[in-house]
């Protein structure tokens, strides 16, 4: 699910919960709206978590340490 779908679910759920006063037999419309908002928030959290993991870059490899042995023989 992309970020657009997640925000759309949140918006549709908010509309059903707060802006609609429909009465449908056997369906609790505000509860359906709350479920849609919860699904949108969960999807958004999962998307952000995955997106953050993709954006992090591994640390650069450590520089190679070269030790020179300067022993002078007389």
Region 61-69: what's the mean pLDDT?
A: 74
- Work out the angle between the directed axes of helices 3-14 and 29-55 (0-180°, nearest 10): 160
Inside any domain, residue 16:
yes
pTM, to two decimals: 0.66
Inside any domain, residue 66:
no
Give the model's confidence band at 1: pLDDT under 50 very low, under 70 low, under 90 confident, else very high.
Answer: low
Residue 71 falls inside a structural domain:
no
Closest to 10 (Cα-Cα) out of 31, 34, 28: 34
Domain holding 29, by residue range, is: 3-55
Could you tell me which residues come within 8 angstroms of residue 52 by beta carbon, excluding any fewer than 6 positions away? none
64 compared with 21, residue with greater pLDDT: 21
Q: Is the pLDDT of residue 68 over 80?
A: no
Please state the domain count of the chain.
Answer: 1
Where is pLDDT greater, at 72 or 43?
A: 43
Residues whose CB is less than 8 angstroms from the CB of residue 43 and which lie 6 or more positions away in sequence, other chains included: 1, 5, 6, 9
31 assigned to some structural domain: yes
Residue pLDDT, tens place only, 12-43: 999 999 998 888 899 999 999 999 999 999 99
DSSP 51-71: HHHHH--PPPPPPPP------
């Amino acid at each position: 699910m992309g970020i657009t779908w997640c925000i759309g679910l949140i918006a549709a759920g908010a509309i059903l919960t707060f802006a609609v006063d429909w009465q449908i037999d056997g369906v609790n419309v505000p509860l359906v709206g709350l479920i849609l908002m919860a699904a949108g928030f969960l999807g958004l959290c999962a998307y952000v978590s995955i997106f953050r993991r993709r954006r992090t870059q591994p640390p650069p490899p450590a520089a190679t340490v070269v030790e020179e042995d300067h022993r002078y023989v007389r």
